[in-house]
């Protein structure tokens, strides 16, 4: 099983899209291992997005991500990172395919609703920024046998 960090950004919360977005991951057969509503502090935002410091979009990104509540989640499942990224769609909503989260709910570059870890290494860095090990719940979904490849 693979885990990834998903953040429903301030625009997703403000537009009341949380339920619809979470259902996309659940309907695909992935499970939520942890979830919380929070406000990202300036310090946490700087730690999370440190790799982008110095880039032209960095100040705006920090301002946006700290501007309102977000929902942070750990999503788990086989190939969870790749599956979540496909469900989210390409970065810019105006370029994202219909049927993806961004393709269905976003049409801008700035407000793209959702963040997802892009690799196992990134997930390993990002998840502990928002969750302690004891915050994550281990459980088996009853429908796992129908959504897995016989594992």
**Positions marked active-site:** 115
| Rounded Cα distance, 53 and 40, in Å | 17
Q: How far apart are CA 115 and CA 30, in angstroms?
A: 16
Asked if 91 contacts 115 with a C-beta cutoff of 8 angstroms, the reply is: no
Cα gap 117→82, rounded to integer Å: 9
């Amino acid at each position: 099983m693979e885990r990834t960090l998903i953040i429903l950004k301030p625009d997703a919360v403000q537009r009341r899209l949380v339920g619809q977005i979470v259902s996309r991951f659940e309907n695909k057969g992935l499970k939520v291992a942890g979830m919380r509503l929070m406000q990202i502090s300036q310090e946490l935002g700087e730690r999370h997005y440190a790799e982008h410091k110095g880039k032209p979009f960095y100040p705006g990104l920090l301002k946006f991500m700290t501007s309102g509540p977000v929902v942070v989640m750990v999503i788990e499942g086989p190939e969870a990172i790749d599956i979540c990224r496909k469900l989210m769609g390409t970065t810019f909503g105006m370029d994202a395919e219909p049927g993806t989260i961004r393709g269905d709910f976003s049409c801008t570059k700035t407000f793209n609703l959702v963040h997802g870890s892009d690799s196992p290494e990134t997930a390993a860095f990002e998840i502990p920024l928002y969750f302690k090990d004891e915050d994550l719940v281990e459980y088996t979904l009853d429908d796992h046998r129908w959504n897995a490849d016989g594992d």
